[in-house]
Structure 1
Amino acid sequence: MNHFELFDLPVSFAIDAAQLQARYRTLQQTLHPDRFANASERDKRMALQRTSQLNDAYQTLRQPLSRAEYLLELRGLTLQHEQQTLQDPEFLMAQMEWRERLEELDVVAELDAAFADLQQQTHAYQQELEQQLEAEQNEAAADTIRKLKFMHKLAAELELIEDKLNG
């Protein structure tokens, strides 16, 4: 059973987050190991295993990037993050420009502008990813996921720089 079936959701990138959370809570109550406290050791292990699978499935579907990757896996495309590099010269140039920009950040105003630019670009990639997944443009979606992962790393780096600037 795939994660979408587990939560009785359509196999789609666009899901109802509230519905996912409600079904998770219901399943969590039903499958929780405490309900099997008086059961056999085998049944206790099974309950623990099912709860672990439930939690993994929930975390995968809850996060847009992991949900997109999972959807591609269901379609037979596995992302090979470190083994496969992005062949988009324009994006590679943008990465270099972002790196230079981060190295030069030294005041909060520049940091705020960088956060705003990053948020805008990330949002554009997220919309692009959603369209690609809906159109089943799987290879293009895989590249967009790689771009979004880079953007998330940049956000984390910006947060570290913010912490240093705020002292």
Structure 2
Amino acid sequence: MSPFATFSLPPSLLVDEDQLQNLYRDLAAQHHPDKGGERSTFDQINRAYQTLKSPSKRLQAYMEATNIEFDSRGAVSNHLMDLFMQVGSLLQNTDAFIRKKSSANSALAKALLEPESMHLQDQLTLLIHSVESSLNTLTETLSESPPPETLPQTFRDLSFLEKWHAQLQQRYGALF
């Protein structure tokens, strides 16, 4: 079943997040296994909610529901290549620092690494905001009824941006 159909919504590029959350809350409460609901129905509701919350997954579900052919494999758009390079470089630097910090054996050694940790935290924060800005900008383009032939690339770009966002946030948390 389509995630849109799960919530009795027409296939759409955008959803009202408050409406979706209310629909989810109502359906989840109604079908929760602790209240006599079927586990499979409850799991389907959760999957549908996670799909519609994510811009890339929602776009994929929309293209499937409207029979727009697409290939999920492919490269990021040229306008996101600089961001891709920044994300890759910062993730590598952060991973190297995390390895160095985990091998520090004394409190003094760890304390000496603190300025580098703070610098990486600042860089990660800036890049997270940049990725969020790109995500928001790309999501806003969906409200402008883009031509169907542009949707597969938009889907790939959104997928990359969501993945980078999650990776950057994970590394930020790993610094503490």
Report the TM-score when normalising by structure 2: 0.65
Aligned to 2:40: 49
Amino acid at match of 2:19: Q
Deviation by residue 1:100-149 (Cα, 9 ceiling, x = unmatched): 45546752433333233222222222222443xx34x2331221221122
Aligned to 1:39: none
Q: Structure 1: how far apart are the matches of 2:126 and 2:24?
A: 38
Report the TM-score when normalising by structure 1: 0.68
Match of 1:126 among 139, 144, 167: 139
Higher normalized contact order (CA 8 Å, seq sep 6+, divided by chain length): 2
Aligned to 1:40: none
Match of 2:57 among 41, 44, 66: 66
Amino acid at match of 1:11: P
Q: How does 1:93-132 map to 2 (within 5 A)?
A: 94-100=83-89, 102-103=91-92, 107=119, 108-131=121-144
Is the CA contact 1:118–1:151 (under 8 Å) kept in the aligned structure 2?
A: yes
What are the ranges of 5 or more consecutive residues in structure 2 without an aligned counterpart? 95-115
What are the ranges of 5 or more consecutive residues in structure 1 without an aligned counterpart? 37-43
Across the aligned residues of Structure 1 and Structure 2, the Cα RMSD in angstroms comes to: 3.1
